[in-house]
């Protein structure tokens, strides 16, 4: 049986359909499964550099909560740019020369911005910060991956709070240069977009996180 050659018009229509399907699948993958993100600041150095690109698993958060140590992309609370806390009297006010008051809950509304930080506290964890290092349930954590704070920096010392149910405490690895949960409180699970699992650019930093 001889196949009838396609007309030029038919070939063009087929090409348009293939391109449309491929584009639709790419958009579906980004919307549901995996999405690329560009690192906009140095808050996650030395783990992630400015301009580095990561892949974020958007599906996993729907089935299992994030874990300690995960690097997560999320919406911060509205007012994060001004270190606004959701509880009056809490937030960026210093109790003394080496400690600041924690913000126990964020503002009620979320920001449209995307932040990327590391999960350092789960619901129910008692979190404090000493010289930029996390103290979880009274135990100083070993964090070899961070860029430490300058000794005695007030923003690197935080009084203890208990992370509320359904919330997660986020911190950047560059502890002296990160706008994070120390300033505007823990993040509700529903505001977490997904966990970064790999970096694909630049080529010399290609690999899993």
Task: Count the domains in the chain.
Answer: 1
| 125 domain residue, yes or no | yes
**Whole-number Å distance between alpha carbons of 48 and 174:** 10
CATH number at residue 161: 2.10.109.10
Question: Residue 12: inside a domain, yes or no?
Answer: no
Catalytic residue among 35, 78, 117, 195: 117
Report yes or no on 26 lying in a domain: no
Is 144 designated active site? Answer: no
In the chain, the largest separation of any two C-alpha atoms, in whole Å, equals 89
Beta bridge partners of 94: 100
Is 191 part of any domain?
yes
- pLDDT by residue (tens digit) across 113-129? 999 999 999 999 999 99
**3 in any annotated domain:** no
Question: Which residue range(s) make up the domain with 111?
Answer: 37-208
Weakest-pLDDT range from 23-27, 80-84, 86-90, 153-157: 23-27
Gap between the Cα atoms of 39 and 148, Å rounded: 20
**pLDDT tens digits, 36-53:** 999 999 999 999 999 999
Catalytic residue among 35, 43, 111, 178: 43
Q: Per-residue pLDDT averaged across 27-33, rounded?
A: 47
Please confirm, yes or no, whether 43 is among the known catalytic residues. yes
Please indicate, yes or no, if residue 30 is contained in any of the structural domains: no
């Amino acid at each position: 049986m001889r196949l009838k050659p396609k007309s030029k018009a038919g070939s063009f229509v087929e090409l348009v359909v293939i391109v449309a399907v491929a584009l639709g699948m790419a958009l579906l993958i980004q919307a549901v499964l995996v999405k690329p993100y560009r690192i906009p600041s140095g808050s996650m150095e030395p783990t992630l550099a400015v301009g580095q690109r990561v892949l974020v698993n958007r599906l996993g958060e729907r089935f299992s909560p994030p874990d300690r140590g995960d690097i997560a992309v999320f919406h911060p609370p509205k007012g994060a740019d001004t270190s606004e806390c959701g509880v009056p009297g809490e937030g960026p006010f210093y109790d003394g020369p080496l400690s600041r008051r924690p913000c126990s809950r964020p503002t009620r509304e979320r920001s449209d911005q995307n932040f990327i930080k590391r999960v350092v506290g789960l619901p129910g964890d008692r979190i404090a910060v000493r010289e930029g290092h996390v103290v979880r349930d009274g135990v100083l954590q070993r964090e070899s991956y961070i860029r430490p704070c300058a000794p005695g920096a007030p923003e690197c010392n935080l009084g203890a709070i208990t992370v509320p149910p359904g919330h997660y405490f986020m911190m950047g690895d560059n502890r002296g240069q990160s706008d994070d949960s120390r300033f505007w409180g823990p993040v509700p699970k529903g505001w977490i977009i997904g966990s970064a699992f790999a970096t694909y650019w630049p080529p010399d930093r290609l690999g899993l996180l």
